[in-house]
Structure 1
Amino acid sequence: MANQDLSTLKVAILVTDAFEQVEMTQPQQALKQAGAETHIVSPKSDRVQGWNHFDKGDFFPVDVSLEQANPSDYDALLLPGGVANPDQLRVNDRAIAFVKSFVEAGKPIAVICHGPWTLIETDVVRGRRLASWPSLKTDLQNAGAEWVNQEVVVDGNLVSSRKPDDIPAFNREMIKLFSQSGKVRQMA
């Protein structure tokens, strides 16, 4: 990962309260170490709280409220999991429109754990291969995706993983995919 330069990349991290903290912090750290600029984008305007499985975690400042966020300002999107986070985002019309903008522009998207719930709402998973937390298998299959039980799956400009244990592989493939963002614009 050290030789991947993302210094020209701006990445949106879409979360709301109750995201799985490590699924946001470790990928964000990997992106920053590769030179990317990251922004926490949220329906909340001040701060969001992570979770460590079933326990409340730390608070993180929101860089840009979803209401003010412009998808065209970003080159890539990170969708962390946790159960409640994507469940809240997938019923938020503004969040779905934000994600759909990345899909329609063919920008790379990294998604982990329960994060694919948000992607399902954009109707982009049909015909795609994705990994996720096992409980999403049926949801993804019902949405037309091929669910894969692997630590990381890259399908076009979509990279996905199952759980926190997969983060090292997820980060490696996310950095690799995001480094090609200018070349990989065919997701829609």
Structure 2
Amino acid sequence: MSDKPLDGRRVLVLVSNYGVEQDELLVPTRRLQEDGADVTIAAVTSDPVQTLVGDRDPGEAVKPTTTLEALDPGAHELLLIPGGTINADQLRLESKALETIRAFAESGRPIAAICHGPWALVEADVLRGKTLTSYPSVRTDARNAGAKSWVDEAVVSDSANGYTLITSRTPKDLDDFLGAVRQSLAGSGERPADG
């Protein structure tokens, strides 16, 4: 038996194939895997995911685990949406990504989003009554989507309206963000069935 704190926990990461902020994808993915979590990266296509650094400089290319169309969202315990302006904007246009976000919220499973990632939550209409943070330019969109409030804090965890939402502002907040994600996963009860 493994002594890793997140052994067997399943995390789903939603991304577009271009424009995800490198550290907001790679740091959580690698650290959660080091803690024993099974991390699935679902992209729009099976092509490599080209990350960016600071929304402009090419970063590392990452092979996705699956595509949005082939995805089984029910097999995962937590949904993670990294930022990157281009990534978040493209995800808002993907119906399968929006369906997945809604499925997590409706089933009471946690969603974690950082930086511009909450833009996809705006489009999925799952922010009503929530307190959250994000990159500052998303603040008005979140409020217009029914969020209770937007705060300027490193990490915000809100369990209102049936599911836990974990949000952070920028890559500088990754340690706090991952602490809240780990806590949510470690404290989650039932694990999904193999599927």
TM tier, smaller = over 0.9
Q: Please, which runs of 5 or more residues in structure 1 have no aligned partner?
A: 184-188
For residue 61 of structure 2, the aligned residue among 51, 59, 63 is 59
- Deviation, 1:100, is 1.1
CA contact (8 A) 1:4 1:175 kept: no
| AA of the residue aligned to 2:86 | A
For residue 128 of structure 2, the aligned residue among 126, 129, 150 is 126
Give aligned-pair identity as a percent: 40
Q: Which residue of 1 aligns with 2:9?
A: 9
CA displacement, residues 33-82 of structure 1 (integer Å, 9 cap, x when unaligned): 22101011011113111000121111100101111001111111110001
In the TM superposition, what are the counterparts of 1:19-34 in structure 2 within 5 Å? 19-34=20-35
For residue 152 of structure 2, the aligned residue among 149, 153, 176 is 149
For residue 111 of structure 1, the aligned residue among 110, 113, 121 is 113
- Deviation, 1:4, is 7.1
| AA of the residue aligned to 2:155 | V
Task: Return closer, same or farther for 1:4/1:151 CA change in 2, 3 Å cut-off.
Answer: farther
| AA of the residue aligned to 1:93 | S
| AA of the residue aligned to 1:179 | A
Between the aligned partners of 2:136 and 2:4, the Cα distance in structure 1 is: 31
| AA of the residue aligned to 1:110 | A
| AA of the residue aligned to 2:141 | D
TM normalised by structure 1 equals: 0.92
- Please tell me the root mean square deviation across aligned C-alpha atoms, in Å: 1.3
Q: Please, which runs of 5 or more residues in structure 2 have no aligned partner?
A: 191-195
Between the aligned partners of 2:119 and 2:95, the Cα distance in structure 1 is: 14
Between the aligned partners of 2:144 and 2:116, the Cα distance in structure 1 is: 15
Alignment partner of 1:49: what SS?
Answer: strand
TM normalised by structure 2 equals: 0.89
CA contact (8 A) 1:86 1:114 kept: yes
- Deviation, 1:131, is 0.6
**Aligned pair count?**
181
Is 1:171 aligned to 2:178, yes or no? yes
Q: Which residue of 2 aligns with 1:186?
A: none
Between the aligned partners of 1:121 and 1:63, the Cα distance in structure 2 is: 24
